[in-house]
């Protein structure tokens, strides 16, 4: 049998906000999106969180993101994320999630962030947490700009396909692996591992956890990385 891994959803599980919406302000400031786009993006995120398991909802969200990003320079997006990461994300990392990630790493398990947000955002957040493996949405790129097509949308069943593929490549035993999420839309991800745990669950997911006797964690303390290191026992 292979070794286990630990798969973490990102938004509201590891960080106390939406990673995609967090960068809305600098994207607006740098002219990538309009004020109307900010409102529409927030609405799309809300609709996804309320009904993300519905294929039609996921397809609409995916297509909206692709259209919104079309023509953006990839390097500009990476630069904005790098410049604002410590201001917009670092203070919102749950201390409980950071400690849990460290526990899994200390036990010899690989930790993987699995998020519907774009890879250009998720990978730097992973680096902030000491996590090198990410499964995230990938946009098609032509001549250094997003083409308006989505190569891979990391949501719902697609997350499971990517996790299963990675497990086959790395030799992970999914029956001995862990998954953490706050959203009912991640039911397929939670059900594909032997040790599912729900974190700050929405109403549907809390009900599912009760029915399946899954552990329920409540993360309440977002603390900046520097402060966590100083205050570590």
CA distance 52 to 11: 14
- Could you give the residue numbers annotated as active site? 9, 11
DSSP state of 32: S
Burial string for 163-188 (b: 16+ CB within 10 Å, else e) reads beebbeeeebebeebbbbbbbbbbbb
Burial of 126 (0-12, 13-18, 19+ CB in 10 A): buried
């Amino acid at each position: 049998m292979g070794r286990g891994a630990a798969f973490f959803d990102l938004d509201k599980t590891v960080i106390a906000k939406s990673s995609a919406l967090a960068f809305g302000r600098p994207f607006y400031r740098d002219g990538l999106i309009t004020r109307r786009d900010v409102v529409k993006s927030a609405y799309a995120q809300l609709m996804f969180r309320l009904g993300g398991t519905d294929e039609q909802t996921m397809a609409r969200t995916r297509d909206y993101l692709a259209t919104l990003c079309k023509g953006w320079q990839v390097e500009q997006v990476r630069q904005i994320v790098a410049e604002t990461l410590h201001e917009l994300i670092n203070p919102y990392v749950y201390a409980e999630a950071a400690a849990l990630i460290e526990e899994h790493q200390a036990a010899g398990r690989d930790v993987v962030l699995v998020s519907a947000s774009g890879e250009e955002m998720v990978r730097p957040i992973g680096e902030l947490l000491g996590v090198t493996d990410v499964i995230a949405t990938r946009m098609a790129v032509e001549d250094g700009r997003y083409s308006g097509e989505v190569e891979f949308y990391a949501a719902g069943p697609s997350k499971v396909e990517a996790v299963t593929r990675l497990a086959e490549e790395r030799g992970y035993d999914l029956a001995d692996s862990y998954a953490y999420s706050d959203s009912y839309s991640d039911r397929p991800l939670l059900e594909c591992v032997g040790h599912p745990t729900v974190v700050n669950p929405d109403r549907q997911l809390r009900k599912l956890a009760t029915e399946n006797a899954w552990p329920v964690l409540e993360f309440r303390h977002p603390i900046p990385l520097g402060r966590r290191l100083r205050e570590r026992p």
